[in-house]
Amino acid sequence: MVTTSQIHLSVEDLSYSIGNEKILNDINFKLYAGEVSCLLGPSGCGKTTLLKLIAGLLCPDQGQIYLGEQNITRVNGNLRLNKHPAMMVFQDLGLFPHMKVAENVAYGLNLKSGKRRQRVENILAQLDLKGYSARYPHELSGGQQQRIALARALVLEPQILLLDEPFANLDTALRQPLAEEILQLLRERGIITLLVTHDREDALSLGDYVGVMGNGEILQWDTPQNLLYHPALPEVARFTGHNSIIKGNLLSNGKVETVLGLIQARNDIQTTVGNTPVEVLLRCSDAQITRSNARHAAKVIYRSLEAEQLIYALKLENDEHIFALASQQLNLQVGDTTHVELVNPSATVYNL
């Protein structure tokens, strides 16, 4: 990891609107050279708009963007800086189908022909594309096309690289190893890297830091571990795993009364009166399906198999939804009625 003495990108109090609709509201964070950060959030929450503001493609309503001491904010509709330090790679890649690989990569590179050719050959070699310069994009695989789009950005030697869903169109088996390889290269080159994704697994596995976005705001900016184990808000918990939020009443002794029974608040939450309404975070490992009909009845909504664990989404009798684990020998179908019990008596609790 880099230290705070190294160059960084600082986004300060950034807001953006279209007409009367607020798209981004008071965004603040810092990115450091040699680190990969991810923006995670549902479609329409403002992730791509934030990248465009950093890239100087849009003007914010308010706020500033600094690279070190340099203000790189686009203001009052002025043209983007002549040599803007950020490059953006879009999901559709934008390769020119009529141009060969070398021509695609060299596009925008203002050097004499000999130096331009050498720069292109060097970047293609670094991305394992040596020998592909005379091919056309349609002659390449999806992973190779992704490398070409990245090479076209890196050949301009940006200090900041902004990636908008860069691996979304790749097969699952290819996406993870290719992403790890490319992002490690960016770390080694000391590039400030911000990657946008709506895929929870991509963000938590690829990012050194992750910002969870919702409704145009940063809900939490943290390490993947802290997002998983210490989500600051119920909205963050819902988006970072098979987590459930159920309602409860916080009693004066720190216990919470829920539809599944009493749960001890794991975190320090204050109340001066009993029966205070709260929300309770349950992980899928906190509950399990049981054959005992003495437990709480639930109906199967859907199921998924992840990391060799069978996870069921269930509707409880009060219509609340939870996730629960089950053995693979228990073959339940959507619509089946089963029973569930708590296996962890403590949980994180949030004030309403």
Computed over every residue of the chain, the mean pLDDT equals 86
Q: What is the dihedral of CA 94, 98, 102, 107, to 10 degrees?
A: -50
Q: Which helix (H) or strand (E) holds 264?
A: strand 261-265
C-alpha R_g of the chain: 24
Q: How many CB atoms lie within 10 A of CB 344?
A: 14
Domain 8-238, second-level architecture: 3-Layer(aba) Sandwich (3.40)
Asked if domains 8-238 and 243-351 share a fold, the reply is: no
Provide the residue ranges of all domains of the chain, joining segments of one domain with +: 8-238, 243-351
Task: Name the pLDDT band for 339 (thresholds 50, 70, 90).
Answer: very high
* pTM of the predicted model as reported, rounded to 2 decimal places: 0.84
The confidence score (pLDDT) of residue 81 equals 62
How confident is the model over 229-245, as pLDDT tens digits? Answer: 889 999 999 888 889 99
Of 171-175, 192-196, 274-278, 307-311, the one with minimum mean pLDDT is 171-175
Which amino acid belongs to residue 206? L
Can you give the three-state secondary structure of 187-246, one letter per residue? Answer: HHCCCEEEEEECCHHHHHHHCCEEEEEECCEEEEEECHHHHHHCCCCHHHHHHCCCEEEE
Q: Which residues contact 115 (CB under 8 A, 6 or more apart)?
A: none
How confident is the model over 265-319, as pLDDT tens digits? Answer: 888 776 656 678 999 999 988 999 988 887 899 999 998 877 677 899 999 999 9
Q: 243-351 adopts what CATH topology?
A: OB fold (Dihydrolipoamide Acetyltransferase, E2P) (2.40.50)
CA 338, CA 253: separation in Å to the nearest integer? Answer: 32
